Amino acid sequence: MKKQFKFLLIFSVITSLFSSNIFAQASKKADIDTREWRYEIEAVNTGVTGTYLVKAWSYSKKPDVAIEQAKKNAVHGVIFKGITGHSGVSGQGPLATNPNIEQEKKDFFDAFFADGGKYMKFVSSSNDGAIEAEDIMKIGKEYKVGVILSVNAALLRKDLESAGIIKSLSSGF
C-alpha cells in the first residue's frame, strides 16, 4: 500500500512537471509567434470611449495557450500592427508610427509583454471570455482561436506616451 502510494506520488509529480513544461514551451512558442506577427487582429465593433473591441486570432497546439496569448496579441496588434476593419466598422492604424520601435525599445517591450506584464492592464475579455464554436479551428497540428477582447487604447496610448515610446499629438508644441 505504502509502495503504491509512493509510486502514485512520484508519477503525479513527474506528470505535472512534464505537462507544465509542455505548457511553458507552448507558451514560449506563442510568444515567438507574437513577436513574429503570427496572429490576426480585426475590428469587431466600436467600443466605448477610448476602447477598441477586437477579435485576436492566435495559433497554438494548446487552445488554452492560444486563448491566453490572444490578450498579448490584441495589445501587440493595437500598438504595432493596426486593426483591420470590415463593413460598418472602421479599422484603426497602429499607435506606433515608427516601424522600428519594437527593436529600438526592445527592453521596454520585453518587460511589457512578459507573462503577467503591464500589457494586462490594457486588455480585458469580452463575453466573460466565452469563445464561439466557429472561432476555434484545428489547422494541421495547431489550433487557431479567435478571442473577442476589449483594448483600452486611450489608456495604452497615454502610457506609451508618458514612457516616451510614442509621441503625443501635442508633442513639440
Partner 1 sequence: MKNIYFFLSVILVLAFSLNGFSQAAKPSIMVFPANIWMTTNDYVTTLDNQGTSTQIMDYQKALNNNQELYSVINKIGGLMKDRGFPLEDLAQKLKDIKDANALDNMAQNTEGGGVAESPRDKLLKTARPDIVLEVTWSINTRGPFKSITFDLKGLDAGTNKQVASAGGTGQEVMGAPLPVMLETAVLDQLDNFNAQLMTHFQDMFDNGREVSLNVKVWDNSPKKLNDEINADGDELKDDIKKWVKDNTVKGRYTLASSSPNMMNFTQVRIPIYGEDGAAFDADAFATKLRKYLRKSYQLPAASSAIGLGKAEVIIGGKSQ
Question: Measured between alpha carbons, how far is residue 31 from residues 18, 28, 59, 156 in Å?
Answer: 20, 5, 10, 20
Q: Which is nearer to partner 1, 27 or 126 (CB)?
A: 126
Q: Which of 146, 147, 144, 152 is nearest to 125 (CA)?
A: 147
Q: Does 173 bind partner 1 (CB under 8 A)?
A: yes
Classify residue 83 by its DSSP letter.
Answer: B
Contact between residue 92 and residue 52 where contact means Cβ atoms under 8 Å apart: yes
The span from the CA of 87 to the CA of 151, in Å, is 20
- The answer to whether residue 45 forms part of the interface with partner 1 (CB under 8 A) is yes
170 binds partner 1 (CB under 8 A): yes
Applying CB under 8 A, among 153, 156, 160, 165 the residue interacting with partner 1 is 153
Nearer to partner 1, 136 or 154 (CB): 154
Footprint of partner 1 on 91-120 (CB under 8 A): 91-93, 97
Residue list 47-66, contact with partner 1 (CB under 8 A): 47, 49-50
- Return d(Cα 56, Cα 75) in angstroms, integer: 9
Number of residues that bind partner 1 (CB under 8 A): 22
The contact set with partner 1 (CB under 8 A) reads 45-47, 49-50, 85, 87-93, 97, 153-154, 167-170, 172-173
